[in-house]
Structure 1
Amino acid sequence: MKTLRSRCFHRLAGLFVSGLALTLFGSPFTFAAAGAAAAAGSGPEATPKAAVEKTVQVHDPRIGTLIQALGEARAVRETAISPDGQQIVWTVSGRQGGEEIELAPVANPSESRRITACGEAVGSEHDAAWSPDSQHIAFFSTCEAGQGMAIYVAEASGGAAPRLLAKLNGYAKSLEWSPDGKLLSLLYVEGATRPSGALAAMKPPSGVIGVEGLEVQRIAVVDAASGELRQVSPAGLHVYEFDWSPDARRLAYVAAPPPGENNWWVAKLYTQDVDGQPAAILDPPTVEGSLHGLQIAVPRWSPDGKQIAFIGGLMSDQGSTGGDIYVIPAAGGAPRDITPETKVTNAWIRWISDSELGASQVVSGAMVYRTVRADGSQGDTLSPALLRVPASAGDGRLELSLSFASNGYVAFTSSSFASAPEVYVAKPGEEPRAVTHYNDGLKPSWGRAESMEWTNEGFHVQGWLLLPANYDPAKTYPMIVMVHGGPSSAVLPRWPGAGYGGVPFSALGYFVLMPNPRGSYGEGEKFTQANRKDFGYGDLRDILAGVDAVEKRYPVDDKRIGLTGWSYGGFMTMFAVTQTRRFHAAVAGAGISNWQSYYGENSIDQWMIPFFGASVYDDPAVYAKSSAIDFIKNVKTPTLEVVGDRDGECPAPQSFEFWHALHDLGDTTELVVYPNEGHGFVNPDHRRDVLERALAWFEEYMP
């Protein structure tokens, strides 16, 4: 699309055609209604006072420089240390595009070499997985655009080129060796037309909805010697995560009937012999106790094969895992919560022995790894942290997952607001050391980050504050409050990518507050569940208390505070401007304005019942309580809405509904719809356009 490289764009202030202003801005469709004066033009005889083209100057050379700087970091997305702890692989973005796999000795990582099946071609190679004997590395490879994905196996010692093991016809992820090294396993959508999950752009609806065109993700295994591929989980179950039993004979997995993007919230835990039939050993919607009606993830067999541990909690997105740790007999039975009342959020687990697990946890905006007793005898007592990273960290497989070797070494990638991504290796109790140095020369062009903590209504709340670039305590600055998605999620420090985020606002002279209010991860399951049936109320009060806490410490101009967010953050933006006039401009990304109509529009309605307690048809009042549209006449804040036209999580009609109401009431608003985008934008021009529009919006309405 034609982007805003001229640094200025025209905001149409009232070109009305049957009450709807429609312009084309490059590729996005822009629906604009600006200024309360436009309300005078509601009748056919009226002449809108604002029916003139209004030019908003955003000629700021810093924007172009900043966007270019955000793209300079080489992305280090995955890493895996060999089981014997001697070698390490990682995936890094290639200088010519695509993704590349590097292999190096742990003792001397500067001696790295590329493993590739692509030769000189630009390709995408990733999901490197070590064989149990540390002798081989399997990986996915796509060497040319339009070419299908394939599995290759390379010798860790070098020499021979990687050999082609199997060609795939569809989408695949989560490549893993069986414990005996005889099979490779993966999650596979044969004949896929799109990546699995709700974040990707949905297929245009056609045919018999909910019946035709379903794409089911199954467990497939490939013989490591012959390359023979077969799908082992049934066609009637969409599998989200899985784990091998120690004897390599059985699988444990979380699955639900298709459509997969919708039914994860009602998924069951299954076990299955590799060539057998599945048996459901846990059904959260029907189980009694603290797990009832919640979500499950990260199933893990105990070393003796007698137990399966997993994480259970209130989770709003598959893949964004958080909750308590539960243990259940592998043959089935009642699950036991072994971490009740702890004020942390468990995101990933591994068995260390039959009596002890290791857990990666979110703790007040940081990542911590520590041990947990499998019998639950620790109660709410936390063991000492073996690894603490006040930043984003993980090996790229699951949320906060880590790669361990038998000698105690752990590998992960990490980044923060101050440090661009690199690969790190550590031993418990030691400081991590950097293995890669791709981004050593990059320095932030934004301000210093600080962890903020405050209390509100009995809750301990944490968030991250970015100071303005070149901060001068003698000056007063505007502030942007950016609310994260979820709501079951948390802001952890990370080097910014090309997506929408708070860092650009800091670089351009704003304070940026990124709170983790109730409903977030990091303070325990009670805190995460504290906004059930209460969306937009307690969490907004936590956010406003955070604004107060910042203003007590720093020179924030209270008349220039803006609000923004994406997904749940987009909902909070829409709802907050109906509840308070504390914010003077707002940008809502992929928001939700009417929970009642949303229930029938989105592709993932199953997620709502755990949060609202019932369907909209059984309890419409609880949905209306948190619907911005029911309070729309309170809005006086200029609000920009942006959304993708193929968003299944937060469909575009939700933004249309909010925009239409503000436009009809004569309030200052604008809606931009981006073609062929899902919930997460992939087109770099669209990402840039969103950022430039948001920056221009705040510059105009918070001068």
Structure 2
Amino acid sequence: MNFPSAERLFRLVISGPAMAGLLVCAAGAQSVDRAHVEEVLRGLNRGHGGGQVAVSPDGKQLAWIAGGRGGGEILVAPIDDLKKTQHVTAATKPDQHCSENDLTWEPDSKALAFFSDCASSDGQHDLYLSRVDGTPAKRLTQLKGYVHEAAFSPDGSKIAFLYVAGATRPAGALAAMKLPSGVIGEDGVEVQRVAYADAAAATPADATLATPANLHAYEYDWAPDSKGFAYVAAAPPGENNWWVAKLYTQTLGSEPKAVLAPAEVAGALHGLQIAVPRWSPDGKTIAFIGGLMSDQGSTGGDVWIVSAQGGAPRDLTAGRPTSPAWVEWSGNDYLFVSELAGGNNQLIRLHLQGDRTGDGAVTFGSPIFSIPGSVGDGRWSHSLSSTADHSMFVFEASTFEKAPEIYGAKPGTVMSSGLDGVMQLSHLNDGVEPAWGKAVSLSWKNDNFRVQGWLLLPKDYDPNKRYPLIVEVHGGPASAVQAAWGGRGGLSATAFSALGYFVLEPNPRGSFGQGEDFTKANRKDFGYGDLQDILKGVDTVLAKYPVDPNRVGITGWSYGGFMTMFAVTQTNRFKAAVAGAGISNWQSYYGENSIDQWMIPYFGASVYDDPAVYARESAINFIKNVKTPTLVVVGDRDGECPAPQSYEFWHALRDEHVPTQLVIYPNEGHGFVNPEHRRDVMDRAVEWFAKYLPAGEGSENQAGANR
């Protein structure tokens, strides 16, 4: 469901071309030195950012995108000397600038396919093929719509991709929802399908649509014989029904066959989510990730396997205290698994013996690498690029201390600590130092759980001074904070650190990284056990570091926005709060959002069948307890956490005479795309915290005076 523009709710408009249409309710925060804040924000992403990386199947060449994940310049070089780069592009003129992305190597390593908007005046991407020999790239398609996730067929004859013909917006719930009109949920529904193009096409042509118009496809994998696909799909609308998607197989030109429906199976997978389907080389089985996942694209759970003909699925990693997110076959008896283990990203090899879908033995090798940072090749969550024989995996990695670089890992080598155990292939950011303070991985006990989190110390930390602390809660809840370089999103932990704050980023129950029991532990308990995990984390910081307990604030986006709203109704420990795209009333939210399917696995029933569980976890029902000054920000076209949720919370705080301010950003969805808006969110958050828990107040005596 879409929502009315925020302009129907309020009409106070900030002037100025960059922020035209920005809507603010209430007044409030004192001004800070915005020039200094801008300087800090510019310094957060110093160094060269990366996009996708892709090693050629023969292991001799590496392709990568310079300029970011949204698309940039494609470079190719011998893997043993990345300085010998050549530029691969669809551009036909020396001064032509194109956005290019989604790299995929031909199986014989002789060609590279990618998407480019070089032939378009409106940003439309088409599929191109480069022989990586200096000759111009060849255009294969003439499309009109949203495209992504290109992949060669195993025989090299075709290139598949996900395609929304005639799209008006990117697929998924993060993008801004279309303005409501017509018959809601029926008119203008956009369906994503698996499509493909002929890799040897003589002239650009439209795509061949492989999957039917009545199924919205989310992820896919080629059949090993190149004659069909395995894919995860559901009936439209796609942004809502991912949570009830099924696994299908389909031979080209035939009808799809559902081989797994989580809503219909018994056992641990019942009613949960599936992702990353991967067909075994012999075509007999399909591996996938299955588990409790609150957001499409934020993948975690267990590794499962099912017969390609259908039947009961088997959990290969049951009880493992990690969160697998990506898998790839190596022969028919081995699976490489990329997983989150506590605060580390690691790669393991899983050995299947005997009956794969029955009772055959499963053994786990030691980690090929285990890195306290963010790892990936730029495609899916935790995905890695590998050679055809899996003798090398290539990826980009970064930590709070180390800027992004491209690395390689070889199975069978001895693993040492952190990034010292992998091969650094690039030197794009040698000498680049972080603009924020030191990072520490903390753990603490609450109930029967061991909780992990990251603590950023203030830049230029002086142990003889007392400092304020900001708790930043991640979204999801099925997600996790991972150590990574730079500023992330509108609310940036590294920016707060650079401005003189301690910042705690906890991974409470409900997060990935500790196994499925931990991820499932906040079902029917939003804001209770997970909040206690967070408060125990605050206690841990207070016991170890010079933090003023009277200057502790909280912030977060999405589920973190909900946790911010709920926390200030349950405790007065937080002296300031900034709630981004939050949820204040689960009862009204159920009928407002565009993704209500995600709620059933967490709440156990719809709001109409069990309103009490929704009421128990709604911040609005405890609004009389709030004393904490709270800034509220949201996009006006957010389908995941609609603007009326923020309006309702702000309205209640105003009536209770709690200092508050609401800012609604025009034409933004759940994930903001306008850099001016992202920066404005951070500016306002800095001003809010500066007013209610100012940084840099100095000595023990000064801190004591604030208690």
Q: Same fold (TM over 0.5)?
A: yes
Q: Which residue of 2 aligns with 1:14?
A: none
* Residues 437-461 of structure 1: CA deviation (Å, up to 9, x unaligned): 3332421110011100111101011
Residue aligned with 2:149, SS = strand
Give, in angstroms, the shift of residue 650 of structure 1.
0.3
Where in structure 2 are the equivalents of 1:200-599 lying within 5 Å?
200-226=175-201, 228=205, 229-374=207-352, 375=356, 382-407=364-389, 408-428=391-411, 429=413, 431-497=421-487, 499-500=489-490, 501-599=492-590
Gaps of 5+ in 2: 1-8, 415-420, 695-707
Give, in angstroms, the shift of residue 20 of structure 1.
7.8
Does the CA-based 8 Å contact 2:162-2:195 persist in structure 1? yes
Q: Which residue of 2 aligns with 1:56?
A: 30
1:653 aligns with one of 624, 631, 644: 644
Q: Distance in 1 between matches of 2:547 and 2:257?
A: 58
Q: Which residue of 2 aligns with 1:44?
A: none
Give, in angstroms, the shift of residue 662 of structure 1.
0.4
Give, in angstroms, the shift of residue 406 of structure 1.
3.2
Q: Which residue of 2 aligns with 1:40?
A: none
Give, in angstroms, the shift of residue 122 of structure 1.
1.5
RMSD of aligned alpha carbons: 1.9
Give, in angstroms, the shift of residue 573 of structure 1.
0.1
2:81 aligns with one of 75, 93, 108: 108
Describe the shift of the 1:281–1:320 C-alpha distance in structure 2 as closer, same or farther (beyond 3 A): same
Does the CA-based 8 Å contact 2:487-2:494 persist in structure 1? no
Give, in angstroms, the shift of residue 128 of structure 1.
1.1
Does the CA-based 8 Å contact 2:229-2:249 persist in structure 1? yes
Q: Distance in 1 between matches of 2:96 and 2:137?
A: 15
Q: Distance in 1 between matches of 2:488 and 2:98?
A: 21
Amino acid at match of 2:279: W
* Residues 322-353 of structure 1: CA deviation (Å, up to 9, x unaligned): 00111111000000111111100000001112
How many residues in Structure 1 have an aligned counterpart in Structure 2? 664
How many percent of aligned residue pairs carry the same amino acid?
57
Q: Distance in 1 between matches of 2:502 and 2:557?
A: 19
Where in structure 2 are the equivalents of 1:661-700 lying within 5 Å?
661-700=652-691
Give, in angstroms, the shift of residue 23 of structure 1.
5.1
Residue aligned with 1:561, SS = strand
Does the CA-based 8 Å contact 1:340-1:380 persist in structure 2? no
Amino acid at match of 2:25: A
Give, in angstroms, the shift of residue 420 of structure 1.
2.0
Give, in angstroms, the shift of residue 659 of structure 1.
0.2
Q: Which residue of 2 aligns with 1:37?
A: none
Give, in angstroms, the shift of residue 543 of structure 1.
0.3
Q: Distance in 2 between matches of 1:478 and 1:266?
A: 43
Give, in angstroms, the shift of residue 380 of structure 1.
9.4
1:620 aligns with 2:620: no
Residue aligned with 1:167, SS = coil
Does the CA-based 8 Å contact 2:53-2:378 persist in structure 1? yes
2:67 aligns with one of 93, 102, 105: 93
1:178 aligns with 2:153: yes
Residue aligned with 2:96, SS = coil
Q: Distance in 2 between matches of 1:55 and 1:583?
A: 17
1:80 aligns with 2:54: yes
Amino acid at match of 1:261: E
TM-score (norm 1): 0.92
Q: Distance in 2 between matches of 1:366 and 1:656?
A: 38
Does the CA-based 8 Å contact 1:338-1:379 persist in structure 2? no
Give, in angstroms, the shift of residue 62 of structure 1.
2.7
TM-score (norm 2): 0.91
Residue aligned with 2:471, SS = strand
* Residues 257-301 of structure 1: CA deviation (Å, up to 9, x unaligned): 111000000000000002211000111111111100000000111
Give, in angstroms, the shift of residue 60 of structure 1.
5.1
Gaps of 5+ in 1: 1-18, 35-53
Q: Which residue of 1 aligns with 2:702?
A: none
Describe the shift of the 1:289–1:510 C-alpha distance in structure 2 as closer, same or farther (beyond 3 A): same
Describe the shift of the 1:404–1:232 C-alpha distance in structure 2 as closer, same or farther (beyond 3 A): same
Give, in angstroms, the shift of residue 422 of structure 1.
2.1
Out of 243-252 and 309-318, give the one that drifted further. Answer: 243-252
Q: Which residue of 2 aligns with 1:41?
A: none
Amino acid at match of 1:545: K
Does the CA-based 8 Å contact 2:246-2:258 persist in structure 1? yes
Describe the shift of the 1:696–1:377 C-alpha distance in structure 2 as closer, same or farther (beyond 3 A): farther
Q: Which residue of 2 aligns with 1:155?
A: 131
Does the CA-based 8 Å contact 2:45-2:485 persist in structure 1? no
Q: Distance in 2 between matches of 1:21 and 1:132?
A: 57
Residue aligned with 2:338, SS = strand
